[in-house]
C-alpha cells in the first residue's frame, strides 16, 4: 500500500515512499527477488546466472540469497534448460529460464515451440506450464554475431505462448512478477540496450496488467507504436516532431501476444495515422500483423496507409554497421513526414 499524508487543506496525498529509481536490469532483479520470496516454487535456471549473476548481472546476488537449489547454474545447453523446466513445471515448480543472448535461443526452439507451447493443449488443460523464458534481445550494444537479434516474431506466431517485452524499469519490475504468476508459458523479451538507463519504479502499483498496451505520450496527428527499446526511440522522435509543430502520440505495445488492440485502435481513430517501429526485420513480423489488423479494424479512420519502420531483411550486421541497420528517430520521422503528406 502507498503511504498517505494529510496536508493542511485536508486533502489526502500519497507519499513517494514506495517509488524508487533504478535501471531496468536491477528492476528485473528486484522483481525476481520478490517473486522468489513470495513463492518457494519459483526457481531460476540458466548459464552463469548463479555465481556470476548472469552476463548482464540481472540475477546478481540471488544465488547467495536463495541458494544453489533455487538459482541453478546450468550447462551450456538451451534445449536441456527448457526441457528440464518443462519437467519441473509438471512437478509443480515455477521455473524461470534465462537464455544468455537472443541468438542462442535457437537450440531450444524445438522444446519451446513443439513441447512447452503445446503441453497444456495436448492434455486438454489438465497440465499447466508456468514457465518463464527470459530473453535479452535487440541491438545497440556493439556485440558480435548471434548477440543482437530480435527473434520475437517466431514466438508471437506460436499458439500457446504469451510474449511480452517491457520498455521501462517500472514495467520490468511488475511484468516479470506477473509473468511468473501466469500458469501459461511466457516469453519475456528484455531489451538489453535498456538494462542500464534508470527510471522510477512504483513498488506499490503495477499501473497496468501484463498484456495491456498503453499510451505513454499523448498527441493528435500521428500514432507511433513500438515495444522494448523502440519506445525510447519513438519518444525521442515525438519530442523532435513537437519542436517542428507535429503532435505525435506514442503507444507502448508491451504485450506482443496477445496484443491489446483497444488503446491502439483508439489512438489511431483519433490521429488517423499510424507508424509501427521495431528492431526486427519487417517481413512477416509483429509490425506486419499490427499493420494488417489496424487496416482491417480502423480502415475508415485512416488518413494514410499504416507505415512500418524496421530493421532490414538481412542478418544482423557487424557491430560497426548496426547504426545503419537499426531504426532511429530520423527514420521514424521520415515515416511521419510520409504519413502526413497524404
Q: What is each CA distance from 43 to 32, 89, 95, 241, 278, in whole angstroms?
A: 9, 10, 5, 45, 32
Residue 300 DSSP one-character state: G
If you write DSSP's letter for every residue of 80-137 in order, what string do you get? HHHHHHHHHHHTT-EEEEE-SSGGG-GGGHHIIIIIITTHHHHTTTSS----EEEEEE
Residue 337 DSSP one-character state: H
Confidence (pLDDT) at 2: 43
CA distance 310 to 275: 10
CA distance 57 to 315: 27
- Give how far the C-alpha of residue 104 lies from the chain's centroid of Cα atoms, to the nearest Å: 18
User: What is the value of pTM for the model shown?
Assistant: 0.93
Asked if residue 188 lies in contact with residue 228, where contact means CB atoms within 8 angstroms, the answer is: no
Whose grid coordinates read 514457465? 131
Confidence (pLDDT) at 238: 98
- Taking the chain (342 residues) in runs of 10, the rounded mean pLDDT of each run is 44 64 98 98 97 95 97 96 97 97 93 96 95 94 82 96 98 98 98 95 96 98 98 98 98 98 98 98 96 98 98 91 94 98 94
Confidence (pLDDT) at 147: 84
Domains of the chain: 19-202 (3.40.50.970), 214-341 (3.40.50.920)
Cell of 322: 548496426
Cell of 304: 494514410
End-to-end alpha carbon distance in the chain:
49
Catalytic residues: 147
- Determine whether 244 is exposed, middle or buried from the number of CB atoms within 10 Å of its CB (0-12, 13-18, 19+): exposed
Cα Rg of the chain (Å, integer)? 20
Confidence (pLDDT) at 145: 81
Asked if residue 162 lies in contact with residue 257, where contact means CB atoms within 8 angstroms, the answer is: yes
CA distance 252 to 208: 12
How many Cβ atoms sit within 10 Å of the Cβ of residue 143? 18
How many Cβ atoms sit within 10 Å of the Cβ of residue 264? 24
Asked if residue 53 lies in contact with residue 61, where contact means CB atoms within 8 angstroms, the answer is: yes
CA distance 3 to 204: 9
Confidence (pLDDT) at 4: 46
CA distance 169 to 22: 7
Asked if residue 145 lies in contact with residue 130, where contact means CB atoms within 8 angstroms, the answer is: no
Amino acid at each position: 500500500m502507498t503511504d498517505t499524508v494529510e496536508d493542511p487543506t485536508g486533502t489526502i496525498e500519497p507519499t513517494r515512499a514506495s517509488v524508487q529509481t533504478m535501471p531496468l536490469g536491477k528492476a528485473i532483479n528486484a522483481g525476481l527477488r520478490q517473486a522468489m520470496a513470495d513463492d518457494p516454487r519459483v526457481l531460476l535456471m540458466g548459464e552463469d546466472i548463479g555465481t556470476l549473476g548472469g552476463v548482464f548481472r540481472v540475477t546478481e546476488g540471488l544465488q547467495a540469497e536463495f541458494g544453489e537449489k533455487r538459482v541453478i547454474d546450468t550447462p551450456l545447453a538451451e534445449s536441456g534448460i527448457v526441457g528440464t523446466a518443462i519437467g519441473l513445471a509438471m512437478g509443480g515448480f515455477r521455473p524461470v529460464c534465462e537464455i544468455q543472448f537472443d541468438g542462442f535461443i535457437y537450440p531450444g526452439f524445438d522444446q519451446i515451440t513443439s513441447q512447452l507451447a503445446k503441453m497444456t493443449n495436448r492434455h486438454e488443460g489438465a497440465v499447466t506450464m508456468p514457465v518463464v523464458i527470459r530473453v535479452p534481445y535487440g541491438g545497440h550494444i556493439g556485440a558480435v554475431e548471434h548477440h543482437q537479434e530480435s527473434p520475437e516474431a517466431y514466438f508471437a506466431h506460436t499458439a500457446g505462448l504469451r510474449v511480452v517485452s517491457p520498455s521501462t524499469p517500472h514495467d520490468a519490475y511488475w511484468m516479470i512478477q506477473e509473468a511468473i504468476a501466469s500458469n501459461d508459458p511466457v516469453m519475456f523479451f528484455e531489451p538489453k540496450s535498456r538494462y542500464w538507463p534508470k527510471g522510477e519504479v512504483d513498488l506499490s502499483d503495477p499501473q497496468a496488467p501484463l498484456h495491456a498496451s498503453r499510451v505513454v505520450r499523448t498527441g493528435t496527428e500521428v500514432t507511433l507504436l513500438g515495444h522494448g527499446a523502440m519506445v525510447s526511440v519513438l519518444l525521442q522522435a515525438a519530442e523532435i516532431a513537437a519542436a517542428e509543430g507535429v503532435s505525435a502520440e506514442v503507444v507502448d505495445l508491451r504485450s506482443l501476444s496477445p496484443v491489446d488492440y483497444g488503446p491502439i485502435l483508439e489512438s489511431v481513430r483519433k490521429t488517423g495515422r499510424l507508424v509501427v517501429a521495431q528492431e526486427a526485420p519487417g517481413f512477416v513480423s509483429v509490425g506486419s500483423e499490427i499493420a494488417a489488423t489496424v487496416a482491417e479494424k480502423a480502415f475508415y479512420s485512416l488518413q494514410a496507409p499504416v507505415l512500418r519502420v524496421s530493421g532490414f531483411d538481412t542478418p544482423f550486421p557487424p557491430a560497426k554497421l548496426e547504426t545503419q541497420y537499426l531504426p532511429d528517430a530520423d527514420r521514424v520521422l521520415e515515416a511521419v513526414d510520409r504519413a502526413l503528406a497524404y
